[in-house]
Amino acid sequence: MPTLMRRGAVAAAAALVTALAAACAPGSSGDKPAGKAPAAVSTDVAKAGNVTLTVWDQEVQGGLKEQIEKLNAQFQATYPNVKINRVSRSFSDLQKTLRLALSGSNPPDVVEANQGYASMAQFVKAGMLLPLDPYDQVYGWKKRYPKGLLDLNSVTDDGKLIGSGKLYGVSLNGEIVGLYYNKEKLQKLGIQPPKTWAEFDQALATAKGKGEVPIAFGNVEKLPAMQLYGILQDGLADKEAVRRLVFGSGGSWTDGPNVQAAQKLADWSKKGYFTKNANSIKWDDTPVNFAKGEGVFMFGGTWWAPDLNDRMKEKVGFMLPPASQAGAPVATMGGESLPWSITAKSKHADVAAAYINFITSPKAMDVSVETGNLPVLPAPSRQPSAALMREVSAAWGELSRNDGTTPYLDYATPTFTDAFGGPLQELVAGRRSPEEAMKAAQDDYTAFQNKK
Amino acid sequence: MTTAARHEGPGSRREAPDARAARRPGGRNGGRPPGEARGIGWLYVLPALLVYGGFLLWPLVRGAQFSLYHWDGLGTATWAGVSNYTSTWSDPALRGAFGHLLVLVVFYSVLPCCIAFVLVGAMSRTKIRGLAFFRTVLFLPQVIAMVAVAVAWRWVYSADGPVNTVLGGLHALGLPDWRRGWLGDFTFALPAVGVVGTWVGIGLALVLFLAGVQKIPRELYEAARIDGAGPVREFIAVTLPALRRELAVALTLTTIMAIRNFDLIYMATEGGPGNATKVPAYEVYNRTFNTGEVGLGCAIGVTLAVLAFAVTAGIGRLVEGRDA
């Protein structure tokens, strides 16, 4: 009798396989929206009738949350016929759920779609996002924003090239990865904030010699080492070369300066300049440890500034990474916060565009400053009050003038965090040579370029 | 995760006698078993069947289908044939993940059963006061959500956690310095995760074995003792054979726990450092949601499901004998 049952199971399995062969392939249900461009743009939100706008954002941390709540309230007060249905998630949760939400038949209207080949470029290729160019003709974002920033949010229709093609999003905040330092400790060690890499190396050696942790560093997630590597790379390689490399239009990860950057990272680790057991410390714990006094320096994004300001007050300073020579222009990773995009299936695209314009208007930049954030464009009538925020703002201004932002390295391929971040963990642990780590990066990069 | 596994066990066993009864010839109603008409039976199970089919079987079927395509989760998929399955084995990172799974099976399944046996061997000879209390305490890890377990152990292993504090004390006494960031160490991260699994698994195995031991007639032990058996001999001749069924259950449940081990890895290490603690269950998630290789993720998932079935059947045969 068991054989009988088994035969039945086999028959059922065979039937299933046949049914499957007949069923349609995933994603081919013909629901790819034909990149529809609105024929006529209506900016009259009041005339749109009662509209509920569903917005997915990742503004969950202190000042960021306050900022978007304020802006949403102002928008609804201006247009009482519009109700904003806000859905907020942490950065990584949003990354993981957005894909499913966009491929569904009823996606949200406005979403924060991350830049890079893993997110925005794939969404564009699949026709999930609405090109904003027709709206730009009305709202004039291209006049308001520097080209470099809009390039980050632009993709060609086939999703193959970032930095050209159509515009798919507008950002509200600026962000850069820079150098935080503990003023109290620097004073005690008798060193000045380093202006050049040579001075910085000197400072690290001094700190180590006096029994301090020179650089606070936590690297469970693999991404932190990629940021640190990126800063070193920006110090050694030409910024144009880095941009071309990340956006896939030339260069190789095994090029000389890129390997040298990995060598420097390995050297620092070998000399014990990092928090001990960095690979077992969470990224989010790095600023917490730094605020507690573990670490003289810390590389990190400006998104940590409001929190560090609360914890450390006058003790913390922020500056751009050191320059190759005194006074030379500096490049570092950064750009703008996640862009606000309109989904291709949104039923209220005009209202969505008006919303995006509202939350990126000069007035919104004032709100950004008020809530302790770094606005992507200069705020017309507000100045940050906290000393740290003023330093952040000055660094951002200097970088904007020099056109010194380079893209985050994880934009390079959808699998880069694993494919390069993993080897970098091994590099930090002294288990892999710089050449091997860079070859691993190049292998993943080549595979993606060939597939694109 | 174990609750689901426990539900599966008895459920699948219950089906067999039903099927046999249905096919049994004879009976007064022209070969039908007595009672209501057979068709009506389907009506009773229909609601459960619909839920089961809709939420379990259909996703399973779709998953199997996706595994045959290259798909980024967004655009149009392209037919892949079995190439996703072949890359499950040819991709060194994935092969490594299956290797880690083997190591973890030892920690999650073999070790807890061995330790529980030793404990039971000791307990079956002496009467222990407050047995119920110990049983509860030892079973506790099973009840706590794996996510909470992972968070707690993250702290235990952290740079200034209890493990390193004790090792620091030993170092002060003149022993070598064994302190390290356990979950971030390439050599020790996997065993460290394994130890957590052992800790969780012991309770389950022990409770099962203790229940089994209580069924063994005392006479058998008395007879063994009269024949001059010592504690070891007694254990091998009496306790072990009597616990075969319990052993099969314990091995099955803990092995499935090892195969499905996602939450612990996700919370404790995210597969790092490097690829040191990547396991297939984590890769299913990672490939599907992080790197946009939905087809490959599904292929790993299907492979794991097949593996789980094979292991379950294998353990049944091995431990319980052919008729299982």
pLDDT tens-place string over residues A47-102: 888 999 999 999 887 788 899 999 999 999 999 999 999 999 888 788 888 888 88
pLDDT in the model for residue A97: 87
Q: Is B253 helix (H, G, I), strand (E, B) or coil?
A: helix
**Strand (E) or helix (H) holding A257:** helix A256-270
CB–CB contact A280 B291 (8 Å): no
Q: Do A211 and A152 share a domain, yes or no?
A: no
Average pLDDT of the segment spanning A329-342: 92
Q: Do A203 and A137 share a domain, yes or no?
A: no
Q: How far apart are CA A99 and CA A156, in angstroms?
A: 19
Q: Do A164 and A283 share a domain, yes or no?
A: no
Average pLDDT of the segment spanning A259-286: 93
Q: How far apart are CA A54 and CA A102, in angstroms?
A: 13
Q: Which residue of B has its CA nearest to A1?
A: B20
pLDDT tens-place string over residues B76-109: 888 988 999 999 889 888 999 999 999 999 999 9
pLDDT at B64 over 90: yes
Average pLDDT, chain B: 84
Q: Is residue A433 part of a domain?
A: no
Average pLDDT of the segment spanning B166-182: 89
Q: Do A125 and A186 share a domain, yes or no?
A: no
Q: Do A342 and A239 share a domain, yes or no?
A: no
The shortest C-alpha distance from A394 to chain B (Å) reads 35
Q: Do A319 and A188 share a domain, yes or no?
A: yes
Q: Do A321 and A213 share a domain, yes or no?
A: yes
Looking only at the bridges linking them, the beta strands covering A51-57 and A82-88 are parallel
Q: Is residue A450 part of a domain?
A: no
Q: Do A91 and A126 share a domain, yes or no?
A: yes
* pLDDT bracket for residue A295 (50, 70, 90): very high
- Specify the number of domains making up chain A: 2
pLDDT at A162 over 70: yes
Per mean pLDDT, which range of A24-28, A136-140, B24-28 is the poorest?
A: B24-28
Q: Is residue A143 part of a domain?
A: yes
- Residue B6 contacts by C-beta under 8 Å, 6 or more apart in sequence? B253
Q: Do A190 and A316 share a domain, yes or no?
A: yes
Q: Do A182 and A322 share a domain, yes or no?
A: yes
Q: Is residue A45 part of a domain?
A: yes
Q: How far apart are CA B77 and CA A27, in angstroms?
A: 6
CB–CB contact A429 B77 (8 Å): no
User: What residue numbers bound the domain in which A157 lies?
Assistant: 38-173+338-367
Q: Is B158 on the interface with A (CB under 8 A)?
A: yes
pLDDT at A331 over 70: yes
* pLDDT bracket for residue B20 (50, 70, 90): very low
What CA–CA distances, in Å, run from A208 to A214, A427, A429?
Answer: 6, 20, 18
pLDDT at A20 over 70: no
pLDDT tens-place string over residues A207-223: 999 999 999 999 988 99
pLDDT at A17 over 70: no
pLDDT at A16 over 90: no
Chain B interface, best mutation among A3, A117, A277, by max B CB count within 10 A = A277
Q: Do A344 and A268 share a domain, yes or no?
A: no
Q: What pTM value is reported for the model?
A: 0.79
**A403 torsion bin: left (phi>0), alpha (psi -120 to 50), beta (else):** left
Q: Which amino acid is at A181?
A: Y
CATH fold group of domain B103-292+305-323: MetI-like fold (1.10.3720)
Q: How is A291-310 classified by DSSP, letter by letter?
A: HTT--SEEEEEGGGHHHHHH
CB–CB contact B273 A279 (8 Å): yes
Q: How far apart are CA B304 and CA B314, in angstroms?
A: 15
pLDDT at B257 over 80: yes
ipTM: 0.76
CB–CB contact B289 A128 (8 Å): no
The shortest C-alpha distance from A222 to chain B (Å) reads 8
Q: Is residue A445 part of a domain?
A: no
Indicate the residue of A5, A118, A125 with minimum beta-carbon distance to B19.
Answer: A5
Which chain A residues are Cβ-neighbours of B182 within 8 angstroms? Answer: 280
pLDDT in the model for residue B21: 46
pLDDT above 90 coverage of chain B, percent: 42
CB–CB contact A220 B275 (8 Å): no
Q: Within 10 A of B110 (CB to CB), how many other CB atoms are there?
A: 16
CB–CB contact A277 B184 (8 Å): yes
Q: Which residue of B has its CA nearest to A158?
A: B75
* pLDDT bracket for residue B319 (50, 70, 90): confident
HSE-CB for A428 with a 13 A CA cutoff? 32
pLDDT in the model for residue B321: 64
pLDDT in the model for residue A15: 57
- The CATH number for A100's domain is 3.40.190.10
Q: Is B43 on the interface with A (CB under 8 A)?
A: no
* pLDDT bracket for residue B3 (50, 70, 90): very low
* pLDDT bracket for residue B125 (50, 70, 90): low
pLDDT at A22 over 90: no
pLDDT in the model for residue B12: 43
Chain B interface, best mutation among A279, A424, A432, by max B CB count within 10 A = A279
Phi and psi at residue A61, to the nearest 5°: -85, 150
The shortest C-alpha distance from A228 to chain B (Å) reads 16
Q: Do A352 and A267 share a domain, yes or no?
A: no
CB–CB contact B291 A414 (8 Å): yes
Q: Is residue A266 part of a domain?
A: yes
pLDDT at B286 over 70: yes
